[in-house]
Amino acid sequence: MPETAARPRRPLFRIGLIAAGAALGLGALALYGIGAGDKAGPCAASPETLAAISKSATGELAGVVTPSSPRPLPALAFKDGDGADVDMTRFHGKVVLLNLWATWCAPCRKEMPALDALERAKGGADFAVVPVSLDLGSVDKPRAFLKEIGARNLPLYVDSTGKTLQALKAVGRGTGLPTTLILDRAGCEIGYLPGPAEWASEEGRKLIEAALGK
Arithmetic mean of pLDDT over the chain: 85
**Residues sharing a CB contact under 8 Å with residue 119, sequence separation 6 or more, in sequence order:** 128, 129, 153, 154
Q: At what angle do helices 140-148 and 106-122 cross, to 10 degrees?
A: 70
Band (pLDDT 50/70/90 cuts) for residue 214 is confident
Distance CA 93, CA 90 (A): 9
pLDDT at 41: 60
pLDDT at 6: 39
Distance CA 183, CA 163 (A): 19
Q: Which CATH superfamily is domain 40-211 in?
A: Glutaredoxin (3.40.30.10)
With b meaning 16 or more CB within 10 Å and e meaning fewer, what string describes 128-158?
Answer: bbbbbbbbeeebeebbebbeeeebeebbbbb
In this prediction, residues 49-58 reach a mean pLDDT of 98
